[in-house]
Structure 1
Amino acid sequence: MNILVKILLSSIAVIIASYLLPGVYVDDFITAVIVAVLLALLNASVKPLLVLLTIPLTVFTLGLFLLVINALIILIADAIVPGFEVHGFWWALIFSLLLSLINALLSDISKEGQK
C-alpha cells in the first residue's frame, strides 16, 4: 500500500510541476501516473548504471553532474511516454529539481497526516 501512496504523490508532483513550468506538458492525470511509475523504474534501473559510468566526471564536478543525469532520466521518460513533453535539456533540469522539491514537500505533508 505504501508504494501506491508514493506513486500517487509523485503523480501529483508531476502535475504540479507541469503546471508551473511552461516547457513541460502532461496530458492528464493518467499520463502523470505513467510518468511517475516510469521515473521510479528508470531511477531504480538506469540511473545507478549512469552514476557508476560517470563517477570520474561526478567527482570532478563535485556531484553537480548528478543533476545532468537526473535531466537525462527525465528526457528518456519524455521519449517513452506519449502525452508527456519536455522542451529541451534545461526544462528537464528545472523539472527534475522542482519535482524533487514538490515530492519532498508532499512526502512531509503525508507523514504529518499519519501522526
Structure 2
Amino acid sequence: MTSILFRFVANAVALAAAVWLVGDITLGDDDTSTGGRTATLLVVALIFGLVNLVVKPIVKVLSLPLLVLSLGLFTLVINALMLMLTSALAGDAFEVDGFWPAVLGGLIISIVSWTVNMVLDSD
C-alpha cells in the first residue's frame, strides 16, 4: 500500500515539475488558487498513474521490436504518448501542446519520478 502511495506522490511531484519546466505543458487555468491547482494536479497524477498501469505495458509489449532496435530509446516516445493520452483524458485540466513538449515532459517526469521514488523509498 505504501508503495502505491509513494508512486502517486512521485507522479504528482514529477507532473508538477514538468508543468513548471515545459512551457507547452499546462495545468488548468480555471482555478488559480493553490488548493485548486493542487487538487487538479492530484487528479491528473491519478489519471497518469492509471494510464501507466493499464496502457503502458500493452504498448511496450506491442512495440518490443522497436524497443530492441532502438536500444530502449523508443521508451521516450512511449512516455510522450502516455503523457499525451493523459492530456486527452484529463481534458482542460491538463494540456500538452505537441509531441516534442510531450517528449521533454516525459523525460522530466521519468527523471523526477525516479529521484522522488529513490528518496521516499529509502529504508
**TM-score (norm. length: structure 1):** 0.86
Q: 1:72-91 counterparts in 2 under 5 A?
A: 72-82=81-91, 83-91=93-101
| Count of paired positions | 113
How far residue 4 of structure 1 moved from its aligned partner, in angstroms, is 2.6
Is the Cα–Cα contact under 8 Å of residues 24 and 96 in structure 2 kept in the other structure? yes
In structure 1, how many angstroms separate the alpha carbons of the residues matched to 2:24 and 2:55?
A: 24
Cross-structure match for 2:72: 63
Q: Which residue, 93, 108, 111 being the options, matches 1:98?
A: 108
For residues 38-57 of structure 1, what are the alpha-carbon distances to aligned partners after superposition, in whole Å with 9 as ceiling and x for unaligned? 22211121111111111222
Q: Tell me if 1:46 matches 2:55.
A: yes
For residues 84-109 of structure 1, what are the alpha-carbon distances to aligned partners after superposition, in whole Å with 9 as ceiling and x for unaligned? 01110111111011011111222233
Is the Cα–Cα contact under 8 Å of residues 6 and 121 in structure 2 kept in the other structure? no
In structure 1, how many angstroms separate the alpha carbons of the residues matched to 2:14 and 2:65?
A: 32
- Identity across matched positions, percent: 34
The more displaced of 8-17 and 75-84 is: 8-17
Is the Cα–Cα contact under 8 Å of residues 71 and 93 in structure 1 kept in the other structure? yes
- Describe the shift of the 1:54–1:81 C-alpha distance in structure 2 as closer, same or farther (beyond 3 A): same
In structure 2, how many angstroms separate the alpha carbons of the residues matched to 1:92 and 1:7?
A: 20
RMSD, matched Cα: 1.7
Is the Cα–Cα contact under 8 Å of residues 39 and 74 in structure 1 kept in the other structure? yes
The amino acid of 1:71's aligned partner reads: A
